[in-house]
Amino acid sequence: MRRLSLNQKTTNGWSVPEAVDGCVRAGLEAIGLWREPVREYGVAESARLVRDAGLRVSSLCRGGFLTVADDAHRRRTIDDNRRAIDEAADLNARCLVMVVGGLPDGSGSGAPVLPGSTTHDQSADDEAGQRRDRDLHGARQRVADGIAELVPYALDRGVQLALEPMHPMYCADRGVLSTLGQALDLAEQHPVEAVGVVVDTFHVWWDPDVERQIRRASGRIASFQVCDWITPLPADTLLARGMMGDGHIDLRHLRRLVEAAGYRGDIEVEIFNADIWAAAPDDVVTLMKQRYAATVLDPTPSPSR
């Protein structure tokens, strides 16, 4: 239980002080923080609070969104990532989680054009075909360029960037890093002090190559996050994560693989789920602890046997 960390997104209604108090009440030793609530409470104040409470900051979420295509937007994004690195340093966070961003036009502004609703001709369709940026290779290259640009600053501030491969379901709109292997291809171009990877069970569990890539990640795993894949998938796929045990992932197997690769850091529970957010946060933390013991840790041998 000493390695269990509450990512504050799991108890989304809690401010930083509430989440810190909640962790202390529950006997947890680590917390994963998000930039928005941290900035709301104040970075220095948040840092003092977690330090005084004796909590480790297992991660700060999140930097990234490096796929933007136009130069001005790109400069602002790099600047914002430098601020995120500063905040991670001030909080003494174990790493800064990087959600790299989807395609520049990936979040689906345009509704589908249905048959019969308008006149279609070839030229109009051609135009529709051109309007959106569908260059996935280019987006991935901009991520690599952006990380390379941030590495010297991360080294300077002593912050490890943690590349998070995201489930391929988010490739268009959230993250074009889609597999652990791809994240490692990028991370390995840089010193391990500057760039590691996140292993999040929700994002990687399906990958036929996951065993091999976790072994390969030895020494590069900056963060291990757990939650479950539930079916049917909730309507809003951004809120599709489930409490451990409610879904289909063999969490214990993945935890063992990550440990066999040498990871001994915190195990963070990050759940985006409307039903869990609607529940009382202390109850969520209690359930999280029970499920962590029952589905992530090794079973305790029964004394009666």
Binding mask of the shown chain, residues 153 to 192, with x at each position contacting its own copies by CB under 8 A: --------------xxx-xxx----xx-xx----------
92 counts as binding its own copies under rule CB under 8 A: no
* Spatial CB neighbours of 98, under 8 Å, sequence gap ≥ 6: 62, 63, 64, 66, 147, 161, 162, 163, 164
Task: Show the tokens assigned to 99.
Answer: 């959600």
Pairing of strands 161-163, 30-34: unpaired
DSSP 105-153: TTT--SPP--TTTS---HHHHHHHHHHS---HHHHHHHHHHHHHHHHHH
Strand, helix or coil at 221?
A: strand
Q: Which is nearer to its own copies, 246 or 268 (CB)?
A: 246
In the complex, minimum distance from the CB of residue 71 to its own copies, in angstroms, rounded to a whole number: 22
196 counts as binding its own copies under rule CB under 8 A: no
90 counts as binding its own copies under rule CB under 8 A: no
Q: Which is nearer to its own copies, 85 or 177 (CB)?
A: 177
* Spatial CB neighbours of 230, under 8 Å, sequence gap ≥ 6: 240, 241, 242, 246, 247, 248
Q: Which of 106, 146, 196, 265 binds its own copies (CB under 8 A)?
A: 106
In the complex, minimum distance from the CB of residue 159 to its own copies, in angstroms, rounded to a whole number: 26
Q: Which of residues 250-269 bind its own copies (CB under 8 A)?
A: 250
Contact in structure between 239 and 273 (CB atoms under 8 Å): yes
Nearest by Cα to 226 from 206, 255, 197 = 255
129 counts as binding its own copies under rule CB under 8 A: yes
Q: Which of 4, 247, 255, 266 binds its own copies (CB under 8 A)?
A: 247
206 counts as binding its own copies under rule CB under 8 A: yes
Distance in angstroms (rounded) separating the CA atoms of residues 92 and 60: 9
Distance in angstroms (rounded) separating the CA atoms of residues 276 and 7: 13
* Residues engaged in binding its own copies (CB under 8 A): 103, 105-108, 110, 112-116, 120-122, 125-126, 128-129, 132, 134-136, 140, 167-169, 171-173, 178-179, 181-182, 205-209, 229-233, 235-237, 242-243, 245-250, 273, 275-276, 279-280, 283-284, 286-287, 290-291, 293-295, 299
